[in-house]
Amino acid sequence: MKLAVVVGARPNFVKLAALYRPLGEWTDMVVIHTGQHYDDAMSAMLFTELDLPLPDVNLGVGSGTHSEQTARIMLGLEPVLVDLAPDLVVLVGDVNSTLAGALVAAKLQMPTAHVEAGLRSGDRGMPEEINRLLVDHVSDLLFAPSDDAVTNLAREGIDPGTIHLVGNVMIDTLVAALPKARARASEVRQRFGVPAEFALLTLHRPETVDDPSVFGAVMGAVAELAADLPVVFPVHPRVGADARQLAAGAPNLVLTDPLGYLDFIALEDTASVVVTDSGGVQEETSFLGVPCVTTRVSTERPVTCTLGTNRLVGHDRTRIVNDTRAARAESRKPATIPLWDGQTGGRISQVVRTALERVSPP
């Protein structure tokens, strides 16, 4: 059996790590990197740290508007898939690469599987929400990470026979990486000059960083928090100079270049509290039991609020400060979320194998 796995952004690579071994044991797997993320810390470094071979194909599309980037991926991907003629196209996450892969495969009438299906924020102003909806409705196998994702898919009229509750691939990769990350935690904190008690900050979503009033309010809250507690802020490439300008003069605010996966997990695991707008970080902190404050008005991962350690606080400066201080005071308590156990990749592999053997018996 031949599988084509389409990836393009940092979260995709983390999810690929959970799939590569269980699927690679019995398939001829071809990894296609669209080049949506091309910064070394966002791309090449992760393959090394996650013990993944370099992609078999790199389309090198680079940046652009959503339409430009999606169109370039589609143009580059179509001849690759035609030449490969895979038995299944595997798509992960909700980025433009995911959408482009789903559309090309659907037009070519190639079976598709969507890993991380059914997540919904209810906010169609998020580009990722549009991607999630479209990908799920053209996919043949839908792998849901949580019960609420299954409910969302059923509510939209998707055939229940195509939906599989399997758990969270992000947690598979986290579980595998924790020993290495924890072994370097002390060195990483020393490198950035932060004590045992610190906060970790990540910001990158357009709704957070593209509106100066929103970004200013969030960074104002962070500066206020940093007066009491050192804050480490790995700066996403798309934020860059704006973040550094807003952070100028703020005490105890440590700005760094983007971090590799292991360094980031080392900090995330040992932080007193995490402030973020990232979906994956909401999941990781819940599994680790680290208090998390999410500076968004909606989340496609509500299970991290109901069963995990996440607080959804929006963009109000006062609320961010107060909720972060309250979260920091909480004791660490790892969440118990069904099937978030480090075994999701194996469950996906079994479903895929059964589905493909039904179509093409051995």
Q: Is 179 exposed, middle or buried (0-12, 13-18, 19+ CB in 10 A)?
A: exposed
- Indicate the pLDDT class of residue 331, thresholds 50, 70 and 90: confident
Q: Does the pLDDT value for residue 43 go beyond 70?
A: no
Q: Is 18 exposed, middle or buried (0-12, 13-18, 19+ CB in 10 A)?
A: buried
SS3 165: strand
Say if CB 286 and CB 267 are below 8 A apart. no
Model confidence over 62-97: pLDDT tens digits?
888 889 999 999 999 999 999 999 999 999 999 999
> What's the pLDDT at 173?
98
> What's the pLDDT at 276?
98
Just list the catalytic residues: 204
Q: What is the secondary structure of 22-85 as a DSSP string?
A: HHHTTSEEEEEE--S--SGGGTHHHHHHTT-PPPSEE-------HHHHHHHHHHHHHHHHHHH-
> What's the pLDDT at 38?
59
Model confidence over 197-243: pLDDT tens digits?
999 999 999 889 888 899 999 999 999 999 999 999 998 877 766 66
User: What's the whole-number average pLDDT of the chain?
Assistant: 93
The closest alpha carbon to 220, from 326, 290, 295, belongs to: 295
Which backbone phi and psi does 33 adopt, to 5 degrees? -95, 120
Model confidence over 150-179: pLDDT tens digits?
999 999 999 999 999 999 999 999 999 999
Q: What is the mean pLDDT of residues 98-114?
A: 98
Prediction pTM value: 0.94
Which domains are assigned to the chain?
2-167+340-359 (3.40.50.2000), 174-328 (3.40.50.2000)
Q: Does the pLDDT value for residue 42 go beyond 60?
A: no
